[in-house]
Structure 1
Amino acid sequence: MAKINELREKRAKIWEQAKAFLDSHRNETGILSAEDTAAYEKMEKDIVDLGHEIERQQKADDLERELNLPTSTPLVSKPDNVNRESKTGTASEKYNKAFWNQMRNRSTQEVRNILSEGVDSEGGFLVPETFENTLVQALDEELVIRQLAHTFTTASNAHKIPVVATRGKAMWTEENGAITDSDTSFGQKTIGAHKLCALIKVSEELLNDSAFDLESYFNQEFARRIGEAEEEAFVIGDGSAKPYGIFDDSEGGEVGVTAASTVTITADELIDLYYSLKAPYRKNGVWLLNDSTVNSIRKLKDSNGQYLWQPSIKDGETDTLLGKPVYTSSSIANAASGTKPIAFGDLSYYWIGDRQGVTFKRLNELYAANGQVGFLATKRVDARLIVPEAVKILKMKGTVSTGG
């Protein structure tokens, strides 16, 4: 924690120096000399590098806290996790042990009988509750969108959500005058269950090595692979065998501003995007963009000469743009002709539906010729923006689209 705070303070100090440098070294036309540009870009690179170091340190601290957690935390609920002996409703300790024995192929008849308590419809063994919860936490740390969105668990392939399409209005009328109908109309959004798979191959030698922490490896590697695939879909997914993303043309956020340039974003355009979002959504509004775009808008000022972007100083805070938190994702497009590099809105209206749990299958024969064993993780998830007006998009001049 102390290390992170130290890095944040150092980054903020360099940013203040960079702002002062810009203000003092611009010539009458507002342009830096080649030498001054190189000096500023060096400070800018230091700011970006420190930001990445802060992220790495935060992940390291989170991982250390995770590894220091007690290993005897009670297990709960699925899969059919009633303790047969105590009847307490907690997960079976035998199931958890049997699951990892099965992954290492140390199966006995007793193990298989225990595992039969938690078999999904496609024959895979449901992940024990402790491992599944850890995996979900890892996804939350890796994914920007999942942290900000509304997530829920669905029990069916089609979770229907009623949405108000148009609102009724009150009206003034003369005494005894005719009253015009103004009813509220309702629409409907559907959250399905798209299938996401990740395959890992492990050598038989490594698998049989009792010193190899199979659970920890699966936790980290499956979280990374599933997390990257989900993040990309939540950002630019087109709904074809995957969720609709926030930047999708047909089901994503509404275009609030179209930039005058194909590659350059101005301060006025960011301010226009901010105010294109209705005030109730602005209260919880956040910015979504990639690191390259943050880098290009860091020098922009408002009409009062104040920088739009401000670095975070305190632990737990994010950088801000026009006073609102900034979140970055590598899945978001760069500023180029026709792309959508920036979104601003309330992402609690982006709903993510997780169905069932994560399931595993051990593939003994498929890679046996190579001396490997395959492990297949499967989860079902869907997502979409329930209220498109809750997110506004900045689109660059041009005709090429990044979403849909």
Structure 2
Amino acid sequence: MTINELREKRAKAWEDTKSFLESHRGEKGTLSAADENTYNAMMADIDALGKEVQRLEKQEAIDKELSKAVNQPFTNKPGANTLSEEIIDKMKPARARSGYAKDLLKAMRSNFKLVTNLLQEGVDADGGYLVPEEYDKRIIDTLKEDNIMRGLATTITTSGEHKINIAATKPAAAWIEEGEALVFSDAKFAQTLLDAHKLHVAIKITEELLYDNAFNLENYIITEFGKAMANAEEDAFLNGNGSGKPLGLFAETGGATVANTLTAAIKADDMLDLIYALKRPYRKSAKFILNDQTLLALRKLKDNNGAYMWQPSYQAGEPDKILGYDVFTSAYAPATAISFGDYSYYNIGDRGTRSMQELRELYAGNGMIGYVVKERVDGKLVLPEAVQILKLNA
């Protein structure tokens, strides 16, 4: 089945679900237990179709990328003096050179008996080896793909404590008569700091598996470490309290602004109040972040015109929408809150590069080898008014 056919099938399923909901409401406007189960099953089918569309879109994008021509056109005149690829490669930082990744894999499989000069250049201050640049990019790609905040926030690479200046007061214009004295106002600035908190992922593998050339060690490291770090990061960027980890959007202190706290079940008007609690300049790029269970409840709500607030996406690469704004769901978003705002004001500070360390002696008695990948990262919302939170009745 093609992507377009799946999208059409999903759209039809959504229309059928809406019709079912309308035709099976009782006198009190609610569903019976049997109808509720049928409705939830229909919604589950819609979700499954949506995930299949996303998988095919990703597959199509990869096929398109791999089908690009490998050969590159000549850009230099014949006979012109150019540096050889070998010299250019040597001019790059150690972990960016072509042989660094291959040498690191050889060293890992040889109990680090085959350590080249190139690897010696790539040792960080903690005694581990810096992750090869192509690994680091692919791990970051994994973080962006699996971590919604990596795709929405602003990422900064820092070499030390990073200070962000925020305008506390802004100059105001004033009318004056001709010849009168000018009125001056003071510009004041506040500062917020991005520090560095250590995040690590540790795994153990058997010696036999490590030395087996059929075992794709490179792909295993990128995939498993990348996903684990992405999950830990997303949880911290949303819920972290700033103590030993980043400060999250939903943090009670230092997080986003609480627009309203509901004491009854959520209604369509509450979502409209949340949208307009956010100042107009921020609404231009605003998006929703919420839990899947919260989205399930919102799918049943209608606006004042009788239209469903949740609008499924019919186009490739486009997220679903609520009242015209993109919706992103996270398993780590609290089920008792909805976030709406411009997440570019959430700053992620990556301190340096990721590194990998081997722990061979620790598990030697079990015939296993441990590996640890570490990164130092911080994150916080530098402008709380840019994101508004609606707290729900538990």
Match of 2:329 in 1: 328
Residue from 349, 372, 376 that aligns with 1:376: 372
Distance 1:254 1:85, change over 3 A: same
Distance 1:182 1:283, change over 3 A: same
Aligned CA RMSD, in angstroms, stands at 2.8
CA distance in 1, matches of 2:65, 2:310: 33
Tell me the secondary structure at the aligned position of residue 168 of structure 2: strand
Distance 1:162 1:282, change over 3 A: same
Distance 1:349 1:72, change over 3 A: farther
The range that moved more, 344-353 or 12-21, is: 12-21
The range that moved more, 83-92 or 145-154, is: 83-92
Match of 1:187 in 2: 190
1:301 maps to amino acid = K
Aligned pairs for 1:82-101 (under 5 A) are: 85-88=86-89, 89-90=91-92, 91-101=96-106
Tell me the secondary structure at the aligned position of residue 304 of structure 1: coil
Distance 1:62 1:214, change over 3 A: farther
- Answer yes or no: is 1:253 the counterpart of 2:252: no
C-alpha deviation, 1:216, in angstroms:
0.3
Aligned length: 380
Residue from 246, 249, 274 that aligns with 1:243: 246
Distance 1:63 1:207, change over 3 A: farther
CA distance in 1, matches of 2:339, 2:242: 19
CA distance in 1, matches of 2:19, 2:132: 55
C-alpha deviation, 1:27, in angstroms:
4.4
Match of 1:210 in 2: 213
Match of 2:156 in 1: 152
The range that moved more, 93-102 or 294-303, is: 93-102
Tell me the secondary structure at the aligned position of residue 366 of structure 1: helix
- Answer yes or no: is 1:135 the counterpart of 2:134: no
Match of 2:75 in 1: none
Q: For structure 1, which runs of at least 5 residues remain unmatched after alignment? A: 74-82, 336-340, 399-404
CA distance in 2, matches of 1:306, 1:383: 38
C-alpha deviation, 1:180, in angstroms:
6.2
C-alpha deviation, 1:173, in angstroms:
5.3
Distance 1:367 1:34, change over 3 A: closer
CA distance in 1, matches of 2:310, 2:279: 21
C-alpha deviation, 1:174, in angstroms:
6.3
Match of 2:77 in 1: none
Match of 2:232 in 1: 229
Q: For structure 2, which runs of at least 5 residues remain unmatched after alignment? A: 73-83
Aligned pairs for 1:278-357 (under 5 A) are: 278-335=279-336, 341-357=337-353
- Answer yes or no: is 1:115 the counterpart of 2:111: no
C-alpha deviation, 1:259, in angstroms:
1.4
1:386 maps to amino acid = V
C-alpha deviation, 1:72, in angstroms:
12
Distance 1:108 1:114, change over 3 A: farther
Q: Is the Cα–Cα contact under 8 Å of residues 84 and 92 in structure 1 kept in the other structure?
A: no
1:257 maps to amino acid = N
- Answer yes or no: is 1:103 the counterpart of 2:131: no
CA distance in 1, matches of 2:321, 2:26: 28
Q: Is the Cα–Cα contact under 8 Å of residues 169 and 183 in structure 1 kept in the other structure?
A: no
Q: Is the Cα–Cα contact under 8 Å of residues 57 and 316 in structure 2 kept in the other structure?
A: no
2:311 maps to amino acid = Q
Distance 1:67 1:380, change over 3 A: farther
Distance 1:96 1:43, change over 3 A: closer
1:98 maps to amino acid = D
CA distance in 1, matches of 2:22, 2:88: 71
Q: Is the Cα–Cα contact under 8 Å of residues 235 and 247 in structure 1 kept in the other structure?
A: yes
Distance 1:174 1:27, change over 3 A: farther
Q: Is the Cα–Cα contact under 8 Å of residues 170 and 182 in structure 1 kept in the other structure?
A: no
The range that moved more, 212-221 or 9-18, is: 9-18
2:16 maps to amino acid = Q
CA distance in 1, matches of 2:5, 2:231: 30
Residue by residue, what CA displacement relative to the aligned partner does 1:297-338 show, whole Å, maximum 9, x if unpaired?
Answer: 101111111111100111101100010000000001113xxx
CA distance in 2, matches of 1:132, 1:53: 28
Match of 2:8 in 1: 9
1:270 maps to amino acid = M
CA distance in 2, matches of 1:353, 1:243: 10
Distance 1:197 1:67, change over 3 A: farther
Q: Is the Cα–Cα contact under 8 Å of residues 163 and 188 in structure 1 kept in the other structure?
A: yes
Tell me the secondary structure at the aligned position of residue 362 of structure 2: coil
Q: Is the Cα–Cα contact under 8 Å of residues 57 and 317 in structure 2 kept in the other structure?
A: no
CA distance in 2, matches of 1:103, 1:128: 13
Residue by residue, what CA displacement relative to the aligned partner does 1:87-140 show, whole Å, maximum 9, x if unpaired?
Answer: 45343333222111122135446x342211111111111111111111111111
Q: TM-score, normalised by structure 2?
A: 0.88
CA distance in 2, matches of 1:196, 1:242: 8
CA distance in 1, matches of 2:259, 2:179: 43
Residue by residue, what CA displacement relative to the aligned partner does 1:147-166 show, whole Å, maximum 9, x if unpaired?
Answer: 1111121111x100101122
Distance 1:70 1:144, change over 3 A: farther
Distance 1:227 1:273, change over 3 A: same
Q: Is the Cα–Cα contact under 8 Å of residues 104 and 208 in structure 1 kept in the other structure?
A: yes
Match of 1:165 in 2: 168
2:199 maps to amino acid = L
Match of 1:19 in 2: 18
Residue by residue, what CA displacement relative to the aligned partner does 1:364-384 show, whole Å, maximum 9, x if unpaired?
Answer: 100011110000100111111
CA distance in 1, matches of 2:70, 2:103: 17
C-alpha deviation, 1:71, in angstroms:
11
Tell me the secondary structure at the aligned position of residue 244 of structure 1: coil
